[in-house]
């Protein structure tokens, strides 16, 4: 009797499994609604299915050097991303390829396509095969499965349909962006963030008027369309949405706070094509984000100018960073003892100038640093410069403190940067290297940030305080204006915002607020600094209310290192 043949391994079955590549391609092409493509990377030749050749008028099913034939088919606004991602795949830089773009079919209509593929390399690491699917997104379900809303393709289709119905039919377009949504993902996780977006979409829908429709666009952005409406009604629609998110929310026991910024425009006044209206709404949303958030902005020509200027400034800021922080500098404003007027500390303030625009005010460039992510690099530079200056000053005044403003982006960095990249990880080694005492450094956080992320921030603040570094709440009294923060936040100093100084001689509330906050802080061992003191009258009134420190133009404007040293640390004519 013959012995039983040994069982083949899975690898042997795969090796012996043979098929005709042309028949395989045909079978795949007829069994899916996707367009199947296969590229011979060595010969730079690609094969497209017959129905795709027919729809887009391609030269044939086999095309040598395919990119040029797409030049007149791809929408001009999408060509760069189409070209660059394909070149990265052809060069082997990208293994997995995903890109979305618009292509004009033979009827002259642009349709959204999504190209997905993978690159295969030989045993020497040289790419030789590039294959995948091209999906006609217009044929897919137009529902966003995460939120249940219509998606961005339906949003575009609806606008184009309304534009065709009548050239003078008025309708409104709103782009809505969730402010600081990135914080939610970073504090918890992306799955939690997805659930928050679902909840947000349900709330938006529940408050919209009868003639408004809500859509999910990209990421944390939503769109609202209102037919036969006015700008005033659009504003009222946004007000309803804004009111729905004016307090802290909770999901699965985790608290989050999301406000909504808005950019709006009107058709046909602001545009008679989809791309024109989308651009106007996008510019307006960007303006709202950069000018305080949680607000609505409606399109004007000034908005477009501001948008383009901001893009230019971001590039100029990037150039400054890449050139060794050229154009950046620090100035210093004294913080004096309210009892005797002697300087006890200074606050480091960032300045920037460029050849084209000259010296810029901080409110014009710091939000752009945060928006672009450059704030992390610039923040490290500020820390290094401020620590070096304080090290020199402490040789003459050993207890002088330095206050440094900290952005949220310096505390919680993107996950792909890995651990050990936040401000706390590099601050302690830096101070040790510069031989600066830990208790001579004060980190300033805005009240709104501390209040919104208190649970996550508390542990980190307690950790640095145990090392001796002090923590301050800046701009106290604006934003959240929650006295409960004083009870929960682990801080050493509260800086009352300058807004309460403006009416101190006329408004009883301002004076009462300063007295109340000062008394509460002293009761729990927190010191108080009053900001924005500009006149002797203001100084006299504030000092009678018991703060520990005063800061403002009355004592000194922000000055350079040399000026402060000569006037306050080693004056030629001591006071």
pLDDT at 179: 86
The domain that contains 279 carries what CATH number?
3.30.70.270
Is 3 a domain residue? Answer: no
Structural contact between residues 61 and 47, judged by C-beta atoms closer than 8 angstroms: yes
Q: In this structure, are 330 and 292 located in the same domain?
A: no
pLDDT at 8: 58
> Which DSSP string corresponds to 356-378?
TTEEE-HHHHHHHHHHHTTHHHH
Burial 264-279 (b: 16+ CB within 10 A, else e): bbbbbebbeebeebbb
Q: Which of 81, 114, 139 is the last residue of a domain?
A: 139
pLDDT at 488: 76
Q: Which of 267, 299, 331 is the last residue of a domain?
A: 299
Q: In this structure, are 346 and 462 located in the same domain?
A: yes
> Which DSSP string corresponds to 212-245?
EEEEE-STTEEEEEEES--HHHHHHHHHHHHHHT
pLDDT at 221: 93
Q: In this structure, are 285 and 318 located in the same domain?
A: no
pLDDT at 383: 94
**How far apart, in whole angstroms, are the C-alpha atoms of residue 547 and residue 528?**
5
Q: Residues 6 or more apart from 336 whose CB is under 8 A from it?
A: 342, 343, 344, 549, 550, 551, 555
pLDDT at 142: 75
Task: Give every residue of the chain whose pLDDT is below 50, as ranges.
Answer: 1, 414-420, 480-481, 574-575
Q: CB neighbours (10 Å) of residue 545? A: 20
Encode pLDDT of 41-70 as tens digits.
Answer: 888 899 998 888 988 999 999 998 888 889
Q: In this structure, are 209 and 289 located in the same domain?
A: yes
Backbone region of residue 365 per phi and psi (left: phi > 0; alpha: psi in -120 to 50; beta: other values): alpha
Give me the number of domains the chain comprises: 3
**How far apart, in whole angstroms, are the C-alpha atoms of residue 296 and residue 302?**
15
Q: In this structure, are 400 and 496 located in the same domain?
A: yes
The domain that contains 105 carries what CATH number?
3.30.450.20
Q: In this structure, are 362 and 218 located in the same domain?
A: no
Q: Which of 87, 108, 139 is the last residue of a domain?
A: 139
Q: In this structure, are 111 and 27 located in the same domain?
A: yes
Is 32 a domain residue? Answer: yes
Q: In this structure, are 295 and 315 located in the same domain?
A: no
Residue 231 domain boundaries: 152-299
Q: In this structure, are 316 and 405 located in the same domain?
A: yes
């Amino acid at each position: 009797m013959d012995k039983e043949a040994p069982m083949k391994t899975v690898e042997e079955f795969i090796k012996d499994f043979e098929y005709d590549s042309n028949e395989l391609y045909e079978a795949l092409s007829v069994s899916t609604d996707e367009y199947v493509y296969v590229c011979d990377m060595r010969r730079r030749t690609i094969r497209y299915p017959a129905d795709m050749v027919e729809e887009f008028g391609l030269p044939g099913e086999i095309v040598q050097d395919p990119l040029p034939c797409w030049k007149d088919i791809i929408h001009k606004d999408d060509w760069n991303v189409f070209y660059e991602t394909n070149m990265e795949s052809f060069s082997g830089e990208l293994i997995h390829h995903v890109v979305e773009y618009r292509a004009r079919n033979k009827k002259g209509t642009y349709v959204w396509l999504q190209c997905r593929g993978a690159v295969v390399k030989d045993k020497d690491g040289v790419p030789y095969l590039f294959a995948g699917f091209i999906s006609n997104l217009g044929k897919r379900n137009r529902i966003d499965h995460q939120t249940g809303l219509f998606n961005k393709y339906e949003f575009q289709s609806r606008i184009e349909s309304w534009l065709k119905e009548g050239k003078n039919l008025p309708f409104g377009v709103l782009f809505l962006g969730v402010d600081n949504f990135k914080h939610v993902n970073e504090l918890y996780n992306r799955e939690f963030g997805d659930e928050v977006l679902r909840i947000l979409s349900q709330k938006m829908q529940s408050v919209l008027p009868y003639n408004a429709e809500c859509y999910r666009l990209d990421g944390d952005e939503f769109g609202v369309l209102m037919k036969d409406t006015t700008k005033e009604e659009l504003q009222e629609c946004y007000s309803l949405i804004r009111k729905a998110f004016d307090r802290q929310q909770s999901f699965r026991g985790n608290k989050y706070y999301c406000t909504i910024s808005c950019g709006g425009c009107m058709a046909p006044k602001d545009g008679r094509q989809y791309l024109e209206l989308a651009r106007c709404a996008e510019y307006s949303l960007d303006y709202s984000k950069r000018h305080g958030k949680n607000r609505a902005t409606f399109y004007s020509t000034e908005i477009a100018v501001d948008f383009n200027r901001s893009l230019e400034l971001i590039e100029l800021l990037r150039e400054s960073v890449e050139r060794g922080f050229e154009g950046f500098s620090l100035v210093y404003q004294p913080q004096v003892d309210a009892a005797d007027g002697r300087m006890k500390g200074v606050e480091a303030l960032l300045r920037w100038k460029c050849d084209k625009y000259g010296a810029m005010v901080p409110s014009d460039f710091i939000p752009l640093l945060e928006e672009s992510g450059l704030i992390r690099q610039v923040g490290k530079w500020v820390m290094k410069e401020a620590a070096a200056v304080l090290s020199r000053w402490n040789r003459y005044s050993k207890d002088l403190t330095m206050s440094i403003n900290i952005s949220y982006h310096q505390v919680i960095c993107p996950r792909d940067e890995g651990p050990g990249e936040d401000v706390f990880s590099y601050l302690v080694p830096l101070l040790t290297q510069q031989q600066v005492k830990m208790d001579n450094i004060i980190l300033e956080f805005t009240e709104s940030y501390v209040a919104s992320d208190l649970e996550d921030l508390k542990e980190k603040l307690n950790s640095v305080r145990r090392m001796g570094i002090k923590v301050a709440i800046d701009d106290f009294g604006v934003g959240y204006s929650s006295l409960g923060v004083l009870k929960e936040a682990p801080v050493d100093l509260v800086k009352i915002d300058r807004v309460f100084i403006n009416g101190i001689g006329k408004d009883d509330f301002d004076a009462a607020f300063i007295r109340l906050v000062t008394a509460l802080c002293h009761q729990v061992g927190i010191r108080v600094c009053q900001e924005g003191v500009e006149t002797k009258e203001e100084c006299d009134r504030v000092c009678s209310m018991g703060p520990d420190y005063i800061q403002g133009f009355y004592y000194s404007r922000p000055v350079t290192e040399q000026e402060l040293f000569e006037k306050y640390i080693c004056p030629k004519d001591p006071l």
